[in-house]
Amino acid sequence: MRRALAQARRGLGRTTPNPLVGACVVTDEGVVVGDGAHQRAGQPHAEVLALEQAGERARGATLYCTLEPCAHTGRTGPCTERIAASGIRRVVAAMEDPFPQVRGRGFAQLRSRGIAVDVGVEHRAARLLNLPFFTFVREGRPFVILKAATSLDGQLAAAPGQRTQLTSAAADRHAQYYRAQVDAIAVGSETLLVDDPLLTAREIFRERPLVRVVFDRRLRTPPTARLFSTISAGPVIILTSSECLRRHPGQARLLEAAGATLVAVDSPALAASVRALAQFDVQSVVIEGGAEVHQAAWDEGVVDYVQLYLAPTLIGPKGVPFLQGRPLSPSSLIDARVVPLGPDVLIEGYVHRPR
């Protein structure tokens, strides 16, 4: 199963809106005769690829898969039929697929064909691997990662409206690595105005377009913002309000001409804007700033994971505090990790216990 999980990780950053899935076929003698990893939506599933590699050696063997095989026809046919036709004797799965069209049906179909099914091996590892997909299916919103860089005294910037570089090149490379895996990056309009970021994945390969999101209820985003110079890297979505679009039709037209997709969210809650991203198949989003957006996301309970980069510097009380000065330490997170990155330190972990 650990081998199958390693196969699944090959699809990181590629498979949305599908989950990450890996599989391997093992003979009774313990010989691995087939491996498979789902790579992209619409392409063969991991189980099918592993079976194709195994060929006739799959007859009488065991199929290990990180998620329940599908039993329905979507962009591809049901994996359960391919498994049954291959002569596989036993299927070992890490967990049930919560997707409504599967959810136990795959296991039921396999058992009805006389195939032994065992569920639960490396369940926790498989669950953590696909938390964005599970959050999307169960809650109808993306998995939210709150990312921030602060000084040792918990400040985001030297002063309001002042761009402040805190982290080292090592920390920045680590952040880019995560940008290559998630579906979207989001910032508030204040961060856009102050930093004018590109919001692209740099110094690391990313196969799929990266969705760039701006929370901008006042429609302050300038059409000349640098992120519009990188539309080829991925769409720009501006989440605003219907009232603002009615009051500023000229600004709306300029932004659309620049390449933005404008989405009206009438609820002032940030959670409603986050949920609106589901219509674009965004299953994971990193909220990178600024202070007000961080605070709103935290207070509204939509943050699932925290990545806090600590720089070895002090700013003082005139700075912009992270979460209004609320202390955030490894002890306040679940499965927390503390990782040195050059002179900086990364503290990361789950806000609530993953399910």
Residues with active-site annotation:
47
Encoding tokens for residue 196?
A: 């004018």
113-118's contacts with Cβ under 8 Å and 24+ in sequence apart are: 113/80, 113/84, 115/83, 115/84, 115/88, 115/89, 115/90, 115/91, 116/89, 116/90, 116/91, 117/90, 117/91, 117/92, 117/93, 118/90, 118/91, 118/92, 118/93
Q: Which uninterrupted H or E stretch holds 147?
A: strand 143-150
Encoding tokens for residue 33?
A: 């005769």
Please report, to the nearest 10 degrees, the dihedral formed by the alpha carbons of residues 279, 285, 290, 292 taken in order.
Answer: 60
Cα(134)–Cα(68) distance, integer angstroms: 13
Cα(265)–Cα(279) distance, integer angstroms: 12
Is 128 within 8 Å of 263 (Cβ atoms)? no
27-35's contacts with Cβ under 8 Å and 24+ in sequence apart are: 27/57, 27/60, 27/61, 27/62, 28/60, 28/61, 28/62, 32/3, 33/57, 33/58, 33/61, 34/58, 35/3, 35/7
State in Å, rounded, how far the first CA of the chain is from the last one. 20
Is 31 buried (19+), middle (13-18) or exposed (0-12) by CB count in 10 A? Answer: exposed
Helix (H, G, I), strand (E, B) or coil at 355: coil
Is 37 buried (19+), middle (13-18) or exposed (0-12) by CB count in 10 A? Answer: buried
Residues 6+ apart with CB under 8 A from 57: 25, 27, 33, 34
